[in-house]
Amino acid sequence: MKEIEILIEVKSSKEEAVKALEKFTSHGIKKTLDIYFSDPLRKDLQPDKENKLYRAFRLRQKDGKNSIAYKVDHFDETTWSHSDEFETEVEDFETMLHIIKNLGLEELVRVDNEKHTYTTPEYEIVLEDVKGLGLFMEVEKLEEVPDEKVAETKQEIREFLKSLNINLGEEQNVGKPELMLNKKN
């Protein structure tokens, strides 16, 4: 599935952001652990010199459910545009972790966060308190968007973000794994 979303740093306090999002449908708070892996034998599953990931393999534990995902990022020149994400549930987190490591993949980074999730008819809004990174908001378009409408859809998301009355920082144009790698290095 194509992911069209914007990740942005939140400058407001978590309490202020939650209050501003109360007008939307809440889906609660969930703890999420994402472990991203690199493959020493495949360049496309390794970060580049600037810690940018073009493809990513992830194991997730969220709200008692586990999944694996393979993501392919697409760029407009050097700016991230969207991702194709292929995700499926797995039964046992520890067994899957064991399988991944025995296949030779190496842990790249862990992203441990608390997600406050809200929806509107058009968007999923996730306020994320990321351990070791800070507070972020991710807004994702819920419906499928054709390739020729990606830029237009991202601009709609930017306008939606402006309407929230939350003090926001810069659009990140990278994912949380890259932010963690940059902080680590």
The pLDDT tens digits for 57-106 are 999 999 899 999 999 988 887 788 888 999 999 999 999 999 999 999 99
Amino acid at 70: Y
Q: What is the DSSP string of 119-146?
A: E-SSEEEEEEEETTTEEEEEEEE-S---
Angstrom distance (rounded) from CA 128 to CA 146:
28
Q: Which residue carries 């407001």 as its tokens?
A: 12
The answer to whether the pTM exceeds 0.85 is yes
Asked if 8 contacts 172 with a C-beta cutoff of 8 angstroms, the reply is yes
Q: Please state which of the four CATH numbers 3.20.20.140, 3.10.180.10, 3.40.50.10800, 2.40.320.10 is assigned to the domain occupying 2-184.
A: 2.40.320.10
Indicate the domain borders of the chain: 2-184
The per-residue pLDDT for 68 is 98
Lowest mean pLDDT among 67-71, 134-138, 163-167, 171-175: 171-175
Half-sphere CA count of 167, side-chain side, radius 13 A: 6
